[in-house]
Amino acid sequence: MSSALKGKSILITGGTGSFGKRFVETVLRTQEPEKVIVFSRDELKQFEMRQLYPNEPRLRFFLGDIRDADRVYRALHGVDVVIHAAALKQVPTLEYNPFEAVKTNIIGTENLINACIDRQVPKLVALSTDKAVNPINLYGATKLCAEKLFVAGNSYAGAEKTRFSVVRYGNVVGSRGSVIPFFNKIKSEGVLPITDPAMTRFWITLDQGVQIVLDAAEHMQGGEIFVPRIPSMKVTDLARAMAPECQLKVIGIRPGEKIHETLMTADEARFARDNGAHYIIYPTMHQWAEHMRLTGKPVEAGFVYASDNNSEWLTEAQLREMIQDYTKVAEPVA
């Protein structure tokens, strides 16, 4: 573990979500922070999370919504690092409630950027998704916009010390509302619905997601999009790993859903470097000179990092091992 956050005051938006809870636990255990502030809008989830840390003086809870610019500004007093994990993310729901996604994922991100520049917060890392690449759904479009806002935030900050970077990764094992808790809930019926038998997805654990965010916070200079090298999996393999006794029923693609996901396009690869553990996509603006870029070799021309052309694949056995902690007790779908 790196110690990029040692002695720092850290605020995480959406801190009561799946990622937020694992991030907070990891940072308190490994990073020796001065303070960790959980910023979220759900008082019940904050109450429940607080019960897990009855004697933790470094942990704070701040009730608020990133849609409320004044509340965001107030929460950032004395903060050194912000991890931006707050978002509305359920694809079918957001297809039918698009303005709600815009208010949280775009306007909320703008509120955070402006407040952090005014408060002179040194570092911000935003969480993004493969659905932001060539988006076909509202969620992906809002996350693409949020990425662009974060990268452009470095120009808006100008000579100020505030710097913004992005971490972009795929589906998280066992996160609320994901396929694992859904399959867990219905597998007793003997049938698992599959949208398309050819469907593939990038797959990452919560711990891997936390680590790439910590790496980004340590090495970022501002403007980068960090893309971890992670394995792909077939949705049919996941279903068989979870419930080999179940029949698979093809139900067709849902609104706004892709057969395969992409983490980096060929156009982005022109500005990317391969650091071994991850790719780093650099902004195209002239302010980012070559000498500012981290070590690593340029990505080959025309390279596309997609879930169906990945060089690393999870087998049924590996999937079964990864999901064992999530299949003992079904988690409610958010």
- Identify the DSSP state of 237: H
CATH of the domain spanning 9-170+204-229+263-304: 3.40.50.720
Strand partners, 13: 39, 84
Radius of gyration of the chain, Cα coordinates, nearest whole angstrom: 20
Separation between Cα atoms, residue 4 and residue 218, nearest integer Å: 5
Please check whether residue 240 is in contact with residue 316, taking contact to mean a CB–CB distance below 8 angstroms. Answer: yes
Q: What pLDDT was estimated at residue 92? A: 86
Please check whether residue 168 is in contact with residue 223, taking contact to mean a CB–CB distance below 8 angstroms. Answer: no
Q: What pLDDT was estimated at residue 249? A: 94
Strand partners, 313: 232
- What is the CA 130 to chain-centroid distance, rounded? 9
Instruction: Map residue 59 onto helix, strand or coil.
Output: strand
Give pLDDT tens digits along the chain (334 positions): 557 799 999 999 999 999 999 999 999 999 999 999 999 999 999 999 999 999 999 999 999 999 999 999 999 999 999 999 999 998 889 999 999 999 999 999 999 999 999 999 999 999 999 999 999 999 999 999 999 999 999 999 988 899 999 999 998 887 776 788 888 889 999 999 999 999 999 999 999 999 999 999 999 999 999 999 999 999 999 999 999 999 999 999 887 889 999 999 999 999 999 998 899 999 887 555 555 566 689 999 999 999 999 999 999 999 998 888 766 543 333 3
Runs of H (alpha helix) within the chain: 18-30, 43-50, 69-75, 91-96, 98-101, 108-119, 138-157, 179-186, 206-219, 235-242, 266-269, 316-322
CA atoms within 13 A on the CB side of 223: 20
Backbone dihedral angles phi then psi of residue 232, each to the nearest 5 degrees: -105, 165
Point out the residues that are catalytic: 131
Q: What pLDDT was estimated at residue 329? A: 40
Separation between Cα atoms, residue 231 and residue 313, nearest integer Å: 5
Instruction: Map residue 133 onto helix, strand or coil.
Output: coil
Please check whether residue 312 is in contact with residue 229, taking contact to mean a CB–CB distance below 8 angstroms. Answer: yes
Q: What pLDDT was estimated at residue 334? A: 34
Separation between Cα atoms, residue 106 and residue 62, nearest integer Å: 21
